[in-house]
């Protein structure tokens, strides 16, 4: 079925989709080269605008209805990309921090889900955010009575109603309430609060990353079935279908097949090596790289580039942090704060010069973006703008 979905995506006759398909076919060309790389500092984050636009169009087209999308902004943390999504009709967004929520509201988003449970000082920050942006609806996740009661107490004091989504743990074991009998009791507790309103259910199955689509779908379906008793209870209680926001980028193509579910992919806006190699059922393009340069040739067969783990995500093993697109036959042997060390054949090593430019594709783009204050925007090989990674900071004004 998913093959048919992708074929349908490719067969669209309008010029935008034909252009998108051409980009997909040519993904392995030298699309990333800058005309004047000498004008860009290194290491430097690069955003390829046409590819970002392509990914947004693809996401909307695959969803079938733009109103089904609740894209996560944790990947790019950039107001300009939010505005690009708003421009095509996306009207709901997901984020993880108060800073990301503030960036969204400031960019013009009218509906924001903080996909995080508010605790401690973040509870009054959420209320301060609501006061600063009264035209934006903010909701947050809750998975226990204590957190709901804290929202209730603040809401009563402020004489407002707080909207929440029940966070469900259907296998990832990171957050959310387990799918057991107590989950139904938790919903009844929430329903009894005067100033807290349940808007829906949040089901994130980020642990499901099988490369084969049929296996990913089977595992996601089995995990999703555990939520049915809660959905049935809410349906009986309110008389309508509950709002369900499910999945992320890995299971985006799975939850597409559930017509009543809202979708919240994030990584697909920029795409990375990790997901790009693993999920061939998703036609997204790599749209963000890091420009790096050779800074030393300390010994025969060894080069050092200025791509340390302060410039690219380092949570994976050293050989699974980046892939250099315009260099073959190398091995990453080490990385420190400001240096990346590569072993390379002596015949190639002799032709490499200090200052040579390379383009690195991150394995995990989301934390890599957060390490940079700005991204150089690339169009047709030229740097045309510079976008600030606004919400890489934990605090903006609130």
Residue 85 and residue 83: Cα distance in Å, rounded?
A: 5
Per-residue pLDDT for 209 more than 70?
yes
pLDDT attached to residue 12: 37
pLDDT for 163 beyond 70: yes
Q: Are strands 137-142 and 111-117 parallel, antiparallel or unpaired?
A: parallel
Residue 141 falls in which region: left (phi positive, over 0), alpha (psi -120 to 50) or beta? beta
What does the pLDDT average to over 105-113?
A: 98
pLDDT of residue 265: 96
- State the residue for tokens 């699974």: 320
Task: At 188, list the tokens.
Answer: 């009844």
Q: What percent of the chain has pLDDT over 70?
A: 93
Residue 21 has pLDDT above 90, yes or no: no
Question: Does the pLDDT of residue 2 top 90, yes or no?
Answer: no
**Other Cβ atoms closer than 10 A to 374:** 16
> Which residues neighbour 173 within 8 Å (Cβ) at sequence distance 6 or greater?
207
Asked whether residue 355 carries a pLDDT value surpassing 50, the answer given is yes
Phi/psi at 199 (5° precision): -90, -25
In whole angstroms, what is the distance from residue 292 CA to residue 311 CA? Answer: 10
Strand partners, 178: 169
Segment 125-133 shows an average pLDDT of: 97
Q: Which of 213, 224, 376 is nearest to 283 (CA)?
A: 213
**What pLDDT is recorded for position 4?**
47
pLDDT at position 29, please? 79
Residue 367 CB burial class (10 angstroms; 0-12, 13-18, ≥19):
middle
Mean pLDDT over the full length of the chain: 93
Q: Which residues partner with 200 through β-bridges?
A: 165, 243
Cα 206 to chain center, whole Å?
A: 11
pLDDT for residue 9: 39
User: Residue 168 pLDDT more than 60?
Assistant: yes
Average pLDDT over residues 204-213: 96
pLDDT range class, residue 13, cuts 50, 70, 90: very low
Calpha distance 345→112 (Å, rounded): 51
From CA 172, how far away is CA 42, in angstroms rounded?
Answer: 37
DSSP secondary structure string for all residues of 41-92: -SSEEEEEHHHHHHHHHHHHHHHSSGGGB--B-TTT--HHHHHHHHHTT---
* Phi and psi at residue 330, to the nearest 5°: -115, 160
What whole-number distance in Å separates Cα of residue 278 and Cα of residue 250? 9
pLDDT in the model for residue 28: 54
- Residue 50 pLDDT more than 50? yes
pLDDT digits (tens, 9 = 90+) for 239-277: 988 999 999 999 999 999 999 999 999 999 999 999 999
If pLDDT is split at 50, 70 and 90, which confidence band does 205 have? very high
| pLDDT at residue 10, as a whole number | 36
Is the previous residue joined to 43 through a cis bond, with omega within 30 degrees of 0?
yes
Give me the pLDDT at residue 312, please. 98
Neighbour count for residue 123 (Cβ, 10 Å): 18
Average pLDDT, stretch 104-123? 97
Neighbours of 239 (CB within 10 A): 7
State how far the Cα of 327 lies from the Cα of 330, in Å rounded to an integer: 7
Kindly provide the b/e burial profile for residues 79-90, where b requires at least 16 CB atoms within 10 angstroms of the residue's own CB.
bbbbebbbeeeb
pLDDT in tens, 59-101: 999 999 999 999 999 999 999 999 999 999 999 999 999 999 9
Condensed to tens digits (0 to 9), the pLDDT of residues 320-350 reads 999 999 999 999 999 999 999 999 999 999 9
Q: pLDDT at position 141, please?
A: 98
Nearest alpha-carbon partner for 340 in 285, 393, 378, 294: 294
Note the CATH number of domain 49-271.
3.20.20.10
Coil, helix or strand for 264?
A: coil
């Amino acid at each position: 079925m998913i093959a048919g979905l992708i074929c349908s995506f490719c067969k669209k006759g309008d010029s935008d989709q034909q252009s998108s398909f051409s980009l997909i076919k040519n993904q392995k060309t030298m699309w990333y080269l800058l005309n004047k790389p000498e004008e860009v500092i290194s290491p430097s984050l690069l955003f390829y605008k046409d590819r970002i636009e392509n990914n947004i169009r693809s996401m909307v087209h695959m969803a079938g209805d733009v109103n089904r999308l609740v894209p996560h902004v944790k990947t790019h943390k950039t107001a300009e990309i939010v505005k690009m999504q708003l421009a095509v009709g996306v009207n709901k967004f997901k984020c993880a921090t108060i800073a990301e929520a503030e960036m969204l509201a400031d960019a013009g988003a009218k509906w924001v889900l903080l996909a995080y449970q508010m605790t401690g000082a973040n509870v009054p920050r959420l209320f301060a955010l609501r006061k600063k942006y009264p035209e934006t609806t903010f909701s947050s996740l809750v998975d226990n009575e204590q957190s709901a009661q804290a929202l209730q107490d603040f809401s009563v004091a402020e004489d407002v109603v707080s909207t929440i989504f029940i966070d469900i743990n259907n296998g990832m074991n990171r957050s959310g309430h387990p799918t057991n009998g107590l989950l139904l009791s938790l919903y009844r507790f929430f329903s009894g609060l005067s100033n807290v309103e349940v808007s829906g259910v949040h089901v994130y199955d980020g642990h499901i990353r099988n490369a084969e689509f049929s296996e990913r779908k089977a595992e996601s379906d089995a995990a999703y079935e555990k939520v049915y008793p809660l959905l049935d209870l809410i349906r009986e209680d309110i008389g309508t279908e509950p709002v369900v926001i499910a999945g992320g980028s890995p299971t985006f193509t799975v939850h597409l097949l559930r017509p009543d579910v809202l979708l919240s992919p994030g990584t697909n806006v920029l795409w990375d090596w990790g997901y790009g190699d693993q999920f061939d059922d998703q036609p997204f393009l790599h749209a963000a790289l890091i420009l790096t340069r050779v800074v030393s040739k300390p010994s025969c067969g060894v080069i050092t580039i200025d791509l340390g783990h302060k410039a690219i995500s380092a949570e994976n093993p050293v050989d699974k942090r980046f892939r250099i697109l315009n260099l073959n036959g190398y091995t990453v042997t080490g990385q420190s704060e400001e240096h990346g060390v590569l072993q390379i054949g002596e015949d190639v090593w002799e032709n490499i010069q200090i200052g040579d430019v390379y383009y690195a594709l991150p394995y995990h783009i989301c934390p890599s973006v957060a390490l940079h204050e700005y991204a150089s925007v690339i169009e047709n090989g030229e740097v045309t703008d510079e976008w600030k990674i606004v919400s890489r900071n934990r605090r903006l004004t609130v």
